[in-house]
Homo-oligomer: A and B are copies of this chain.
Amino acid sequence: MKSPNMKNKRPTLQDVADLVGVTKMTVSRFLRNPDQVSAPLQTKIAEALEDLGYIPNRAPDILSKSKSHAIGVLLPSLTNQVFAEVIRGIESVVEPAGYQTMLAHYGYSKEAEEARIATLLSYSVDGLIISESYHTERVRKMLAVAGIPVIEIMDSVSPPIEQAIGIDNEAAAYAMTEFMIKKGRRKIVYFAARMDQRTLFKIKGYETAMLDNGLTPLCLKTNSASSFTLGATFLKDALQQQPDTDGIFCTNDDLAIGALYACQKAGINVPQDIGIAGFHGHDISRAMVPLLTTVITPREEMGRLAAEHLLSRLQGNPVSQRIIDLPFKIEAGESI
């Protein structure tokens, strides 16, 4: 029995066609280009579609053409405001172009990254935007086999699989450390959280700058995520380990702001007693008192650019530039 909608499954093109009295091919034509069917049928088909509440089904298309019109976005975390802004940049380009975003995150675990990539590929995403620059052999093989364009974001240094768009975190950290030193800071402590690759690069930049200036680096580390409250904890640790600390450089604005508040509570004057610098330049850093000294990074632009390059690749264009190194900026602020 060919009853349409027997099991209240959602209507298919066949159901619509049956209602009108044509074949599903005719309905399919109408959907792609209404003028391909005769005027009277146009009306009837449009009515039937509306009537049944037909919703297109991408699955057959994905199956036969291996094109899903979806792009996969894989990030280490969704909580971090940095990634939220990257996502906004990606979506601002991808959505108007008619692509859907499949978002996944892996909590900084390499095994989880493998699993998420396999999942995204199993949905036949047309392209991938991923983060971090180190990937396991298995990940590299999957990506090679999948044969879809892949863009790595956040970091502009390591040789990319195909194309990377990011900033030079080490150089940025070096620059900020130098800035602090030029401002007279000598006993600068680095606050590091979530020891991912970008953090390691930043630590390297900080340590190199310190050593280049004959100063002794001191880095406080934790694997947990950065937060405002963590900034306060770190401040206590820093003062304990090095009571004459006169500068704090944080891997993230929230650590910096947390540390700054903790100074206020402890009666330490910023920047007179201790200078504090953050990283990223979120909106709050431009509103707070004192204005935060921070490294401004182009997070949204990074997402936008990654998406633009990915779409370009999907249109058949070759990789135009293997590494796109976006500029960062030292925002002087008032906290140093």
Contacts and interface: CB of A to CB of B under 8 A. Distances in A.
Given A283-B227, A284-B254, A79 B70 contact: no
Contact of A78 (B11, B88, B118, B231): B88
A287 B257 contact: yes
Contact of A84 (B8, B11, B84): B84
Interface string A230-274: 011000000000000000000000100110011011000000000
A87 B91 contact: no
B232 A261 contact: no
A26 to B, nearest CB: 20
Contact of A287 (B60, B100, B121, B231): B231
A280 to B, nearest CB: 14
B105 A102 contact: no
A228 B68 CA distance: 39
A81 B78 contact: no
A158 interface: no
A62 interface: yes
A79 to B, nearest CB: 5
A145 B10 contact: yes
Interface stretch (A50-58, A182-190, A310-318): A50-58
B145 A52 contact: yes
Given A81-B84, A227-B283, A145 B55 contact: yes
B52 A287 contact: no
A208 B265 CA distance: 37
A264 B78 CA distance: 32
Given A119-B100, A286-B229, A63 B53 contact: no
How many identical chains are in the complex? 2
Interface in A107-164: 118-124, 141-142, 144-147
A213 interface: no
Nearest to A63: B59
A57 B122 contact: yes
A101 interface: yes
A289 interface: yes
A274 B289 CA distance: 17
A318 B141 CA distance: 43
A104 interface: yes
A88 B79 contact: yes
A123 B104 contact: no
A296 B326 CA distance: 38
A43 interface: no
A9 interface: yes
Going nearest first, the 7 A-B pairs with the smallest beta carbon separation are: A228-B287, A53-B145, A59-B63, A103-B103, A59-B62, A264-B289, A228-B284
11 contacts: A11-B145, A55-B118, A55-B122, A59-B124, A78-B84, A78-B88, A228-B284, A228-B287, A228-B288, A232-B287, A261-B289
Given A70-B102, A264-B289, 7 more contacts: A10-B145, A55-B145, A56-B122, A59-B124, A84-B84, A254-B284, A261-B289
